[in-house]
Chain A
Amino acid sequence: MKHRTTGQQIFAVINYGILILASLMCILPFVHLLAVSFSESAAVSAGKVGLWPVNFTLQSYSFAFSNGKFVKALLVSLERVALGVGVNMVLMILTAYPLSRSKEQLLGRNIYMAYFVVTMIVSGGLIPTYLVTTKLGLLNSIWALILPSALNVYNMIILMNFIRNLPEELEEAARIDGAGTMTILRTIVLPLMKPALATVGLFSIISHWNDWFSGMIYMQSPEKYPLQTYLQTLLKSFEELLKTADGDYMQLISRMNVRTGRAAQLFLGAIPVMLIYPFLQKYFTDGLVLGSVKG
C-alpha cells in the first residue's frame, strides 16, 4: 500500500468532484425529463418539478399511446429502421469485401476506391439531392428515407479495414479446398467480422432512428412522418404556443399540458437508443479502434 501525500489526496477529491459533476450534467437533464413526464401538469407549470415526479401520474403516457399520430409515427420508424438497416448492411458488406482485396486480386481497385472516397469529400448538397430524390418519384415513399443513404462510405471503410486485418491463411486454405468467393464470404469472412458488423449495424440503427430531417422534407403528410420528425413538430408547436400565450391563463395551462405530454413522447423516442446502448458501448470502442486506426 503506497502512502499518498496531502497534495495527492486533495487532487483526488477535486478530480472525483469534477468528473462526478460532469457525469451529472449529462444524466440529470434526462432525469428531469422523466420526472416531468410522470408529473401532473399543474405541478410542472408551477415549477415544482425537479428530479422527482410531483403527483405521480401516467396520464402523459396513456395520452401518447392513445394519440394516433404518435403510434403511427412509431410504426413508420420501426419499418424504416428494419428496411434501412437491411439495405445498409447488404450494401456495406458487398462493397467492403471486394475493396479489401489487393490491387492484383481486384483489378482497378484504386479506381473503385477513388470512386467511393470522392463522395466523402464533395457532395451536391441539400438541394440537388432533394431534386434527384423527388424526380425519382420517391416523395411520400418510405424509400426516400432509405435509398439516398443506402451506402455509408465511412462505415464501409471501417468494415474494409477490419477485413484487411483478418488473417489471410483461413481464406487461402478454403480457396485451395475449392470454395468459391461467395462461400468464403459467407462461411469464413462474415463470422470473423461479427464485432465490426455489430458496430456498424448499431450505428446504422441509430442514424436511421435519429434522422428527422429526411422525413421532414420528403414526407408531405404528417401521417407518413417517422417518429423523430413527428417529435420535431412538437417542438415547433410548443414555440407557437409560447408566442401566443401572452399571459392568458387558459393558454398557459394548455401549454403546460403540452410540456408534460411532450416530455413523455420525447422520452419514449429516446428509449430504443438507451436499450441498444449497452451493446453499442461493448462493441464500438473495439470496432472503431480496430477499423479506423489502421497502421
Chain B
Amino acid sequence: MKKKRIWAKLKNQWQFHVMLIPGIVALFIFSYIPLYGLIIAFQKYNPAMGFRSPWVGLRNFTYLFGQPNFVRTIWNTFYIAVFKIIGGILVPVTVALLLNEIKNKTFKRLFQTLVYIPHFLSWVILAGVLMDLLSIDGLVNQILSWIGISPVNFLGDPGIFPWTMILTDIWKGFGFGTVVYLAALTGIDPGLYEAAIMDGAGRWKQTVYITIPMLMPTIVLMMILSMGNILNAGFDQVYNLYSPIVYQTGDIIDTYVYRLGVEQAQYAVGTAVGLFKSVVSGILLTLSYYLADRFAGYRVF
C-alpha cells in the first residue's frame, strides 16, 4: 500500500528529481570528492596513487605543529580576523546610525553609491591602488606629512602591517556592511519614536533607548554569523599586499597553505593545514548557526 503511494508520488514529481541531478553531480565532484580527499592529510601523498597513498597516521600534523612558522600563522590569522570582525560590525553600525539621522534623500543615495564601490572590486585592483597610496612617497604619507607625522611604512613594517590589513578591510567593506543595519533601521516601528517624543525624549535619548536596542538582535546575529570566519583573515588581501619582510606578523594560515601546498607541492602537509582549519571553522560555524537560531531566531534554510 504505502510503497504504491510513494511510486505514485514519484511518478508525479520525477521532473523535480531529474532537475536536481546536475547540481548534485557538480557538488559531488567538486565538494564531496575533495572532502574525501582530506584523508591525504593522514597519508604520504604519492601522485600516482592519489587518494590511496600509504598511511602515515598523524605524522603530517606533528610535523606541522613542530614548525614555529606555522604556529605563528595561527596567531596572526586569529589576531587579524578578530579585529576585522569587531571593526566590520562597529563601523557599519555607526555609519548606519549617522546616516539614519540624515533626512536629505539625495545625499543619502549618493553616499551609499560611493561607499559601496570598494566592496565590489577585487583585492587585486584594490591592492594595486593601495600599494600606490600607502607607499613611502604615496599620497597618504604626503597628507600625513602636512600634519607633521613622519612617513609610515604601512606595507613594510611588521608592527604596522596587520593593522593595515584590518583597516583596509574595514575600508573595503563598511559601506556595504551598512545595508543590513539600514534595513533593520527602516523596520523599526515609528510609533515607538512618537511615544518617546510624547514622553519628552530628545534625539539622543531616542537613539539610546529605542534605536540601539532595536538594532541589537541584528548586531548579535551578525556577530554570531561571523564566528565561522575566525580563521579567515582574508587570503586575497594578504597575498596581494604582503612580502617576506612582514611574514612574522602578516603570514596567515591560508597564505602558508598556499606556499606550502601549491608552490612547494607538499600536498599532504598542505591538506593537513586545510583539515585543521576546516574542522575548527566547521565547529564554529555549526555552533554559530545553532546560537543564531536559539537566540536570534534566524534560520538560513
Residues of A at the B interface (CB closer than 8 Å) are 8, 11-12, 15-16, 18-19, 22-23, 25-27, 29-30, 32-33, 36, 47, 50, 90-91, 94-95, 97-99, 101, 104-107, 112-113, 115-117, 119, 121-133, 135-136, 147-151, 153, 156-157, 180-182, 206, 209-213, 217, 228, 231-232, 234-235, 238-239, 259, 262-263, 266, 269-270, 273-274, 277, 280-281, 284-285, 288-289, 293-294
Q: Which of B266-301 contact A (CB under 8 A)?
A: 267, 270-271, 274-275, 277-278, 282, 285-286, 299-301
Residues on B with C-beta less than 8 A from A50 are 139
Residue of A whose beta carbon sits closest to that of B260 = A127
Tell whether A19 pairs with B179 under 8 Å between CB atoms, given A32-B139, A94-B23, A182-B15.
no
Cross-chain pairs A/B with CB under 8 angstroms, 28 sampled: A15-B102, A16-B102, A19-B107, A23-B114, A30-B117, A32-B129, A91-B26, A95-B20, A107-B9, A107-B10, A115-B24, A121-B286, A124-B35, A125-B277, A126-B254, A127-B267, A127-B274, A131-B34, A131-B50, A147-B26, A210-B121, A239-B243, A273-B120, A273-B121, A274-B117, A277-B120, A288-B179, A294-B299
- Cα A116 to Cα B32 in complex, Å, equals 10
Known: A147-B30, A210-B122. 10 other contacts (CB 8 A): A11-B101, A30-B117, A33-B128, A95-B19, A113-B301, A117-B301, A126-B258, A131-B37, A132-B37, A289-B183
- A19 touches which of B111, B127, B137 (Cβ 8 Å): B111
Verify A235–B34 contact, CB threshold 8 A: no
A161 to chain B, nearest CB (A): 8
Contacts of A289 in B (CB 8 A): 183
Q: How far is the CB of A246 from chain B (nearest CB, A)?
A: 15
Inter-chain CA distance A104–B12, complex, in Å, is: 11
The answer to the question of B133 belonging to the interface, with a C-beta cut-off of 8 Å to chain A, is yes
The 7 closest A-B pairs by CB, nearest first: A124-B34, A125-B274, A128-B37, A210-B122, A128-B34, A98-B16, A95-B23
A127 to B240, CA, bound (A): 20
Q: Does B224 contact A (CB under 8 A)?
A: no
**CB–CB B175/A26 < 8 A:** yes
Which of A22, A91, A212 touches B115 (beta carbons < 8 Å)? A22
Residues of B within 8 A of A (CB): 6, 9-10, 13, 15-17, 19-20, 22-24, 26-27, 29-38, 40, 50, 95, 98-99, 101-102, 107, 110-118, 120-122, 124-125, 127-133, 137, 139, 142, 171, 174-175, 179, 183, 203, 235-236, 240, 243, 254, 257-258, 261-262, 267, 270-271, 274-275, 277-278, 282, 285-286, 299-301
Residues of B contacting A133 with CB < 8 Å?
Answer: 30
On whether the beta carbons of B183 and A128 are closer than 8 Å, the reply is: no
Asked if A128 and B102 make an inter-chain contact with CB atoms under 8 angstroms apart, the answer reads no
Indicate if the CB atoms of B20 and A98 lie closer than 8 Å: yes
**Interface pair B31/A124, CB less than 8 Å apart:** yes
| Cα distance A288–B107 in the bound complex, in angstroms | 23
Query: Whole-angstrom distance between the alpha carbons of A265 and B139 in the complex?
Result: 20
Smallest Cβ-Cβ distance to A95: which chain B residue: B23
Contact B285 A126 (CB under 8 A): no
* Residue of B139, B262, B277 touching A217 (CB-CB under 8 A): B262
User: Whole-angstrom distance from the CB of B182 to the nearest CB of chain A?
Assistant: 9
Contacting pair B132 A231 (CB below 8 A): no
Q: A128-B40, A135-B50 are in contact. Are A234 and B31 (CB under 8 A)?
A: no
